[in-house]
Amino acid sequence: MQPNQPSASALISAFGRAYHSAHGDPKIFDDYLADKFFTTAQRTFFTENLSRAYAFFEPQAAAEITDPAQALAGFMRAQSLSITLSRARYVETILDAAIQNGVKQFLILGAGLDTFAFRRADLLERLDVYEVDHPNTQNYKRQRITELGWEVPARLHLIPLDLNQDDLSTALLGAGWNVGERALISWLGVTYYLAREVIHSTVRALAQVVPANSILIFDYLDADAFIPERTAPRVARMQLATQMADEPMVTGFDPQKLAVEFAPLGFELAENLGPADIQQRYFQNRSDGYYAFEHIHLAKLVR
Ligand X SMILES: C[S@@+](CC[C@H](N)C(=O)[O-])C[C@H]1O[C@@H](n2cnc3c(N)ncnc32)[C@H](O)[C@@H]1O
Residues found near ligand X in the complex (CB under 6 A)? 7, 9-10, 13-14, 84, 110-112, 114, 133-134, 137, 162-164, 188-190, 193
Q: Which of 223, 302, 233 is nearest to 269 (CA)?
A: 302
Min dist. Cβ of residue 187 to ligand X (A): 8
Give the shortest CB-122-to-ligand X separation in angstroms. 22
Indicate the residue among 89 and 303 with the shorter CB distance to ligand X.
89
CB 214 within 8 A of CB 185: yes
Nearer to ligand X, 9 or 51 (CB): 9
Q: Cα–Cα distance between 165 and 148 in angstroms, integer?
A: 31
> How far apart are CB 43 and ligand X at their closest, in Å?
17
Residue spans of alpha helices (H) in the chain: 8-23, 40-57, 59-63, 68-78, 81-100, 116-119, 135-148, 168-174, 196-209, 233-244, 258-262, 275-282
CB of 28 to ligand X, least distance (A): 14
**Residue nearest ligand X (C-beta atom):** 112
Q: In what order do the strands lie in the sheet with 296-302?
A: 156-160, 128-133, 105-109, 183-187, 215-221, 296-302, 268-273
Q: Which is nearer to ligand X, 162 or 246 (CB)?
A: 162
Q: Which is nearer to ligand X, 163 or 241 (CB)?
A: 163
CB of 266 to ligand X, least distance (A): 20
- Determine how β-strand 268-273 pairs with β-strand 156-160: unpaired
Residue 131 or 222 with smaller CB distance to ligand X: 131
**Contact of 132 with 108, CB cutoff 8 Å:** yes
**Strand pairing partners for 253?**
222
